[in-house]
Amino acid sequence: APRGADDRFRIASITKTFVATVMLQLESEGRLDLDDSVETWLPGVVRGHGHDGRKITVRQLLNHTSGVFDFLDDPVYEKKYLTDFVKNRLLTRTPQEALDAALAHAPTFAPGTDHAYSNTNYVLAALIMERVTGHTYEYEVRTRIIQPLRLRATVLPGDSALMPKPSGRAYSKIGESGDGARIYDVTHQNASQTWAEGDMISSAGDLNRFFGALMRGELLKPQQLKAMKTTVFDSGYGLGIEKLTASCGKELWGHGGGWVGSLSYAATTEDGRHSFALNLNGDWDASGVGAVLVAEFCDAP
């Protein structure tokens, strides 16, 4: 059936921008410091196989320079939650299960020496958020961002497998065979399998409102917004957000999100006046996303 402009969809890793925004708000309130060690807030949690939370900072979690192994690259975890996704998609996954999978491996590199995207970073960031505030990650995002901006289509689904209406179906080629020959309807899936690293549900309109407000300084003070937009190495990645340069030279800020059955991207100009979000309800071909962004930001009058 045709997609609708108001459709809700799983935004996957765009969730990370919401998490980073809350962490920066907490810093502006003096409740944490970006240069606090992970050990300060999560004593003894990040240990094993060379990982050491005493040497990793909150900032390094948010900009993916921690070197913490990405749990999605653990073969056992990958088989359970990706290769066998269709069979296991209604299982509840805890944050600890993700951490256990990550910390069973050596770090990707020493903290602060390189950049590599790791979903484990945002599991740890959300656990720190919860330790600092005494509230759930969901409560903090809801009360600090969703309610003030009136993002009525944005949901933190917890362990629900349901999609709010209106929404389309979600399709995937990730299945037991692993050969990509069959397309599966994966609309219903337990959202806990992505948690704070990628569980949120939203709409294009709400994402446009959020990213526009973020860049206009409605959610962060100037010092924190500057920190968010400070990119590392040659990655273009800041704190939960990335900088893009379109083929026409226009600079954009945004984040992508890909998970089983869904590919999304949200971007905005630096002044927050022109925002655009899109979703594909299939997970096997993102090749057209760049062309759509160029059409929106470069070709549109």
Sequence-ordered list of residues with C-beta below 8 angstroms from that of 252, at least 6 positions apart, any chain: 243, 244, 245, 246, 267, 268, 269, 270, 293, 297
Question: Does residue 128 contact residue 21 with C-beta atoms inside 8 Å?
Answer: no
Sequence-ordered list of residues with C-beta below 8 angstroms from that of 153, at least 6 positions apart, any chain: 6, 8, 164, 202, 203, 205, 206
Sequence-ordered list of residues with C-beta below 8 angstroms from that of 84, at least 6 positions apart, any chain: 176
Catalytic choice (13, 192, 202, 262): 13
Q: Give the whole-angstrom CA distance, residue 295 versus residue 292.
A: 5
State how far the alpha carbon of 242 is from the alpha carbons of 58, 63, 229, 235, 252, in Å: 18, 9, 8, 8, 8
DSSP state of 249: S
Q: Which residue has the tokens 């409102």?
A: 209
Residues across the chain: 301
205-226 residues labelled b (16+ CB within 10 A) or e (exposed): bbbbbbbbbbbeeebbeeebbe
Q: Would you tell me the crossing angle of helices 120-133 and 95-103 to the nearest 10 degrees?
A: 130
13 is catalytic: yes
Which residues does the annotation mark as catalytic?
Answer: 13
